[in-house]
């Protein structure tokens, strides 16, 4: 059992809510987290049709009976009618506790905003972070990028390619076909692989539409499906008015780098060493570590990227309302003077609100004048709450 940092945040708000909702990708550890954090709660998996049929006989009675001692309902979006009953029971019995999990963010959040708005504490559990993997050997960057963060890869020593192959096939069969009626599944699979090859790039729906042979609307719908199912996400551009024509198209990144490797046909870390995607994959890994840090602290993403029409680009800008942090990501192991070029450029534009700048790369940590060069494993090795501090 690997301790998940999200537990700290769940514990911090435990006194204020009777309903807890935990979303995240399939196989990210939601069930294990719930069973270990809420050890004495009654557990039911709503993926099981027989369980759903039994609950349907007397749903309110079932909820009242089992929530008195705490009730975990896994994949609760499989039974959407249950949310209204949970609302009634939670209002009538505020001392009763519910823990709801789901891997389809759209279905789950739609029902929560309808029935449980203001009643539920919401959390997102992503695959394991670098700090959560602290007991494992993370010295080989290529192995870390190839292995990703899904718990089964590390705790069961499952080959990443084998895990991702079955993960992907199951996802296509179960999630996509349930979310929408895709007539040509082959074209959708091509779309997913093309997205994997475009991590760290601006998302161009028109270009993908022409390449695959489907409409732009279809591309947008497919992208939404991948986002709903926690396969990938869009990183928005930085919009602050600083007198420049800024790029307004989001970038795309995947929630786990192992899945990217699988989709691109990378079967071992040795192939990754010379692969053209390695730099983008390293950038993806760093961006998702920032995201995990925010989510594990119970916060929404505050991440953006900067790019203007002159092609000046910063990979990560953290928006803290009154000030900003900027990070440039480089996969190199040796320092080069031009690493800080765009950071200096942005410092001149933003001025004092840009209170921290750093280059995150694969070499040794060192301090330069006005900048910090830091190894990505070192910056993410501390628990999420310490990183946040």
* pLDDT tens per residue across span 369-388: 667 888 888 888 876 555 55
* Average pLDDT rounded to a whole number, residues 347-369: 85
Residues 74, 103: one domain? yes
* Average pLDDT rounded to a whole number, residues 341-369: 86
Strands 98-102 and 19-23: parallel
Residues 93, 163: one domain? no
pLDDT score for 386? 55
pLDDT score for 107? 62
Q: How many helices (H) and strands (E) does the chain have?
A: 19, 13
52 domain residue, yes or no: yes
131 domain residue, yes or no: no
Lowest-confidence pick of 100-109, 146-155, 186-195: 100-109
If we measure between CA atoms, which residue out of 301, 150, 162 comes closest to residue 235?
301
CB-based burial, 13-42: b 16+ in 10 Å, e otherwise: eeeebbbbbbbbbbbbbbbebbeebbeebe
> What percentage of the chain reaches a pLDDT higher than 90?
69
130 domain residue, yes or no: no
pLDDT tens sequence across 72-95: 999 998 898 999 999 999 999 999
The domain boundary, picked from 124, 152, 177, lies at 124
Question: Would you call 125 helix, strand, or coil by DSSP?
Answer: coil
* Average pLDDT rounded to a whole number, residues 51-76: 96
1 domain residue, yes or no: no
- Residue 389 binned pLDDT confidence (cut-offs 50, 70, 90): very low
Lowest-confidence pick of 20-34, 227-241, 293-307: 227-241
The vertex-197 CA angle with 192 and 202, nearest 5°, equals: 95
CATH number at residue 188: 1.10.10.10
pLDDT tens sequence across 272-306: 989 999 999 999 999 999 999 999 999 999 999 99
Contact yes or no for 319/350 (Cβ under 8 A): no
Q: Please tell me the total count of domains within the chain.
A: 2
pLDDT tens sequence across 157-185: 999 999 999 999 888 766 777 777 777 88
Residues 263, 344: one domain? yes
pLDDT tens sequence across 122-134: 999 999 999 999 8
Residues 175, 114: one domain? no
Residues 193, 259: one domain? yes
If we measure between CA atoms, which residue out of 232, 171, 221 comes closest to residue 196?
232
262 domain residue, yes or no: yes
Q: Report the DSSP beta bridge partners of residue 316.
A: 327
> Between residues 207 and 111, which one has the greater pLDDT?
207
Residues 196, 232: one domain? yes
303 domain residue, yes or no: yes
pLDDT tens sequence across 243-282: 566 678 999 999 999 999 999 999 999 999 899 999 999 9
The domain boundary, picked from 74, 91, 124, lies at 124
* Average pLDDT rounded to a whole number, residues 331-357: 88
pLDDT score for 106? 64
Lowest-confidence pick of 30-39, 164-173, 308-317, 365-374: 365-374
pLDDT score for 323? 93
Residues 162, 118: one domain? no
Contact yes or no for 359/343 (Cβ under 8 A): yes
* Average pLDDT rounded to a whole number, residues 305-325: 91
> What is the rounded distance in angstroms from the CA atom of residue 176 to the CA atom of residue 230?
12
Residues 116, 186: one domain? no
If we measure between CA atoms, which residue out of 111, 37, 31 comes closest to residue 73?
31
Residues 264, 333: one domain? yes
129 domain residue, yes or no: no
The vertex-324 CA angle with 361 and 287, nearest 5°, equals: 40
- Residue 119 binned pLDDT confidence (cut-offs 50, 70, 90): confident
Residues 17, 113: one domain? yes
> What is the rounded distance in angstroms from the CA atom of residue 100 to the CA atom of residue 46?
10
Cα 117 to the center of its chain, rounded Å: 23
The domain boundary, picked from 124, 153, 187, lies at 124
Q: Which domain holds residue 80?
A: 6-124
Contact yes or no for 46/147 (Cβ under 8 A): no
Residues 274, 374: one domain? yes
CATH number at residue 118: 3.40.50.300
132 domain residue, yes or no: no
pLDDT score of 31 more than 80: yes
Alpha helices in 13-126 (DSSP H): 30-37, 49-57, 59-67, 82-92, 105-115
Residues 96, 198: one domain? no
The values of phi and psi at residue 37, to 5°, are -75, -35
pLDDT score of 104 more than 80: no
Written as one string, the DSSP assignment of 214-238 is: S-HHHHHHHHHHHHHTTSEEEEPBP
The values of phi and psi at residue 129, to 5°, are -85, 170
Average pLDDT over the chain, rounded to whole?
90
Q: Is residue 307 packed enough to be buried (19+ CB in 10 Å), middle (13-18) or exposed (0-12)?
A: buried
If we measure between CA atoms, which residue out of 122, 112, 52 comes closest to residue 87?
112
* Average pLDDT rounded to a whole number, residues 234-242: 83
pLDDT score for 381? 82
> Between residues 379 and 8, which one has the greater pLDDT?
8
């Amino acid at each position: 059992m690997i301790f998940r940092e999200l537990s700290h945040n769940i514990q911090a708000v435990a006194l204020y809510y009777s309903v807890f909702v935990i979303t995240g990708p399939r196989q990210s550890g939601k069930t294990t987290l719930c069973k270990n954090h809420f050890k004495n709660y009654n557990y039911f998996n709503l993926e099981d049709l027989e369980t759903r049929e039994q609950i349907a006989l007397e749903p309110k009675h079932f909820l009242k009976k089992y929530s008195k001692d705490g009730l975990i309902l896994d994949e609760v979006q499989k039974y959407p009618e249950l949310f209204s009953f949970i609302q009634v029971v939670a209002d009538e019995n505020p001392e009763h506790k519910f823990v709801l999990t789901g891997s389809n963010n759209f279905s789950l959040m739609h029902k929560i905003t309808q029935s449980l708005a203001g009643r539920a504490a919401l959390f997102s559990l992503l695959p394991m972070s670098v700090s959560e993997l602290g007991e494992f050997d993370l010295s080989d960057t290529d192995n870390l990028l190839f292995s990703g963060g899904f718990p089964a890869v590390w705790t069961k020593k499952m080959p990443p390619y084998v895990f991702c192959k079955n993960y992907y096939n199951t996802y296509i069969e179960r999630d996509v076909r349930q979310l929408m009626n895709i007539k040509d599944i082959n074209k959708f699979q091509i779309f997913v692989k093309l997205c994997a090859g475009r991590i760290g790039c601006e998302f161009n729906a028109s270009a993908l539409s022409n390449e695959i042979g489907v409409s732009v609307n279809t591309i947008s719908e497919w992208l939404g499906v991948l986002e709903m199912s926690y396969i990938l996400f869009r990183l928005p551009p930085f919009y602050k008015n600083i007198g420049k024509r800024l790029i307004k198209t989001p970038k795309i990144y995947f929630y786990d780098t192992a899945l990217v490797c699988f989709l691109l046909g990378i079967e071992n870390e040795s192939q990754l060493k010379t692969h053209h995607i390695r730099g983008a994959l390293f950038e993806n890994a760093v961006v998702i570590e920032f995201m995990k840090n925010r989510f594990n602290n119970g916060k929404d993403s505050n991440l953006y990227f900067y790019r203007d029409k002159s092609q000046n680009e910063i990979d990560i800008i953290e928006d803290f309302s009154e000030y900003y942090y900027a990070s440039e990501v480089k996969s190199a192991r040796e320092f080069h003077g031009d690493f800080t070029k765009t950071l200096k450029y942005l410092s001149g534009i933003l001025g004092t609100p840009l209170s921290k700048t750093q280059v995150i790369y694969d070499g040794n940590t060192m301090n330069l004048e006005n900048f910090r060069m830091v190894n990505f494993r070192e910056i993410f090795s501390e628990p999420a709450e310490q990183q946040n501090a």
